[in-house]
Amino acid sequence: TAQQQTALLARVEQEYLEVRETVIAQLREYTTSASSFESGNPMSVSSQSSRLGSGSLMLQNSIWKLETKFVQMNDHTFPRFQENDSRLVEAAEKMVCDVRKRAAALREKLLAISRLQQHIVDLKGGLTVVMDSVTELCKDFTHLELVHRLPQAYTAFLLEVKRRRAYSEAIRSRGAELHEEFVAMRSKETSLRMRFLALTGPHLPPCFATHFLPSLFQKPPRPHTDDTQLFGAEGSGTPLPDVSD
């Protein structure tokens, strides 16, 4: 994994730094010993020779250790690096392939959803058109029903007008007859009252005319029997049309 690769790289860097410090220290000591040897100090030649020999030996040991680590790294660490790198590349390729597949599947689903939404919008539009058409069709059917029933309604209307005209004529005729009867009755009543006043009126006390019957010396009222309004006749309104033809 990536964490193992990072840990392995950190360990290699740490070992490299340790070997580097050891080699630099040995080289520094070897350089110091060589400088002292070249100065020709007879008292320190033997000691410097021994130190130079020991320094060379330590340098050889350090180089041997470095070579050993290099061999180990070349035989074990670097192959592990390559193996881990191959695994990482393979995992990345698989992840990319999986992402592409999932992206393609998601794109197909989104396209399907978009098509379904468009289909729903089209269906709603079609339903709106159908509903409007059905509404208009119902209105047309209503008009057709009215047209279909128009002859029957017109015939009934003509009969109604004729019936009302007959009713008005009967009321006017009856009103005229009643008016004549009322006039005759009033004339007779007037004659009877005049006769009563002429024969009996002079013998009555004044209180009879002032208190008991104030209308004693009055004629009967005229009858109000206008034949155009008698019993609710319709002659006072708009005249009915003549449908005799």
pLDDT tens digits for 201-222?
777 777 777 777 777 778 888 8
Provide the total of helices (H) and of strands (E) in the chain, helices listed first.
4, 0
Q: At what angle do helices 2-38 and 45-72 cross, to 10 degrees?
A: 160
Between 241 and 233, the more confident residue is 241
Q: Which of 76, 104, 132 is the last residue of a domain?
A: 104
**pLDDT tens per residue, range 86-138:** 888 888 889 999 999 999 999 999 999 999 999 999 999 888 888 988 888 88
Closest C-alpha among 68, 36, 63 to residue 50: 36
Whether 133 is covered by a domain: the verdict is no
pLDDT higher than threshold 60 for residue 179: yes
Average pLDDT, integer, range 48-75: 63
Whether 79 is covered by a domain: the verdict is yes
Q: Which of 62, 88, 104 is the last residue of a domain?
A: 104
Please count the residues of the chain.
Answer: 245
Whether 138 is covered by a domain: the verdict is no
**82 in the same domain as 9:** yes
Contacts of 59 (CB under 8 A, 6+ apart): 23, 26, 27, 30
Rounded CA-CA distance 19/16 in Å is: 5
Q: Would you tell me how many other CB atoms lie within 10 Å of the CB of residue 181?
A: 12
Rounded CA-CA distance 5/84 in Å is: 7
Per-chain mean pLDDT for the chain:
76
Rounded CA-CA distance 177/33 in Å is: 170
Share of the chain above pLDDT 90, in %: 13
Average pLDDT, integer, range 7-12: 72
Whether 158 is covered by a domain: the verdict is no
Phi, psi dihedral angles at 243 (to 5 degrees): -115, 30
pLDDT at 108: 92
In Å, the largest CA–CA distance within the chain is: 204
Q: Which of 104, 132, 154 is the last residue of a domain?
A: 104
Average pLDDT, integer, range 168-180: 89
pLDDT at 239: 60
Its pTM stands at: 0.35
pLDDT at 116: 92
**95 in the same domain as 8:** yes
Rounded CA-CA distance 244/232 in Å is: 23
Give the pLDDT band (50/70/90) at residue 196.
confident
Rounded CA-CA distance 176/137 in Å is: 56
Whether 151 is covered by a domain: the verdict is no
Rounded CA-CA distance 97/95 in Å is: 5
Whether 147 is covered by a domain: the verdict is no
pLDDT at 188: 92
Whether 181 is covered by a domain: the verdict is yes
Whether 13 is covered by a domain: the verdict is yes
Domain total of the chain:
2
Residue 221: which domain range?
163-236
pLDDT higher than threshold 60 for residue 31: yes
Rounded CA-CA distance 106/94 in Å is: 18
Between 148 and 168, the more confident residue is 168
pLDDT at 45: 44
Between 47 and 136, the more confident residue is 136
pLDDT at 236: 47
